[in-house]
Amino acid sequence: MASIFSHMKNVYLSMSPPIPAPSENDHEPLRMGILGAANIAPNAVIVPSKSSTGLEVTSVAARDSKRAEEFAKSHGIAKVYGSYDALLKADDVDVVYNPLPNGLHLKWTTEAVMNGKDVLCEKPLASNAQQAREMFAVAREHNRVVLEAFHYRFHPSLHEFAYHLRKALTPENPLVGVKASMMVPGGFIKDSDIRFSYPLAGGALMDCGVYPISTVLYAVRVAGEGARAGSNFDFATWSSGIEVVNADSVLFSTSDKKVLEAKAYLNARGEPGIDEATSARLLVPVPGSPARQKVPCEISASLKTYRDTKIPLLGWRVPKLSLPTVEATLKDGTKVELVNYIAPSIYHCITVTSPSGQQQQYKAYTPSPNSSTDLGVTAAVDGKWEPTVGKPWWTTYRYMVEAFDLGVQAFKRGTAPMFVAPPSSADDAKNRKGGWAPVWMDNRESEVVMECVDKIYEKTGLGKRI
């Protein structure tokens, strides 16, 4: 019973975190401006920053000035700018969070970079892979930090999953399959939502499908050799070897007359262009595999998930709740599974199932001692946290905010943006004169995720977003 109350307390603290004591940092907190009064912003940066001594949300700008004022008042944000441009040109803004619709990520992230701001950009990074490459090219040209907000990558539960996966692997018992899903219950998202807008680069694969894509890529990197964030691993060549064997989409459908009249779900040819669900099977090369092994990976994503049965007589469809899950299978049948990789601070479970069916379960609400072992360091392809970092109530977003702050600070002290990821060796650390972030998602992998999205959409016949 005590553990239940303790867990409930942690969930409460994640939503209403304690204000930290005055900072002992050697720098003033980064002042963050938010582009748009987006619904995701409170969970992603506003609440997490309240318990941070390194970053604070100080301003917001929105197209609707009244909405911006209300948003700022509701969330205790001190300053409202009358336009995105004004916020990006402001001297009292150090970094920018871009949670705008997918189709606007490229424009406003590059505008921020060209105005000397470092950017935390929501996933998916852009409408397509070419836009992602263009975004990072501009960031390199202007020497700024851009991080894609794949928040789950920063939580210790994923690093613990990687540890147990790596522990089970041997040359004779390799990884032979990965499955990952992200299924949103039906009715949770309105049909009028921008997620179903083709001009804004919407769709299930774009919104929730990038999670399972990035998760299977992570698992395969853990099983390989040398594919660490910030290393000299050739992500482009790796990506070129990824094959989409098959892919299927369920087209968006609605009975909402206003949505039908608006026709936002239609592509430029006037044809349905939005998927409400997509599944795909990929073959992903194992980095460093001498036999050039490719692992079959299955991804499933839906913005409208319902049970097969309906309520008798009424005929109503029943929403289906399923937790985002990733499962890795080895040659001997061993399975390593992480349930609820998206919101592990609320609940998660890592299960290792032996070929005989015996199960061992693990959890990591804070960094596990396993992460500091040699095996844990090897498994941590995006880096790891020291055991002293974090609290049991820290969400994925809170860990992400911590990493973003540390990455930007490392850059300000002299580390080049491309080297703010943790070093893979002592020699590699020499490139990081200003230090590094303990955990980081490599820009080049963000490009690989978008390249997979493009390939899957092309395979379904819907075509990549434009």
Question: 3-state secondary structure string, 329-356?
Answer: EECCCCEEEEECCCCCCCCCEEEEECCC
Show Cβ contacts of residue 171 under 8 Å, excluding neighbours closer than 6 positions. none
The residue to which tokens 């499908």 are assigned: 209
The identity of residue 158, as a single letter, is L
Q: In the 8-state DSSP scheme, what is residue 20?
A: P
N residues, the chain:
466
Q: Which amino acid is at 62?
A: A
Burial (CB count within 10 angstroms: exposed 0-12, middle 13-18, buried 19+), residue 260: middle
**Spatial contact of 368 and 388, defined as CB atoms under 8 Å apart:** no
Using a 10 angstrom Cβ sphere, with 0-12 exposed, 13-18 middle and 19 or more buried, the burial of residue 180 is buried
- The CA-based angle 133-464-258, given to 5 degrees, is 120
Least Cα distance to 227 among 383, 436, 120 occurs for 383
Residues with Cβ within 8 Å of residue 62, at least 6 apart in sequence: 36, 37, 68, 71
Supply the residues annotated as catalytic: 123
Residues 6+ apart with CB under 8 A from 47: 14, 15, 16, 17, 397
CA distances from 455 to 128, 214, 305, 425 (A): 10, 14, 24, 34
**Cα(86)–Cα(106) distance, integer angstroms:** 18
Peptide bond into 387 cis (omega under 30): no
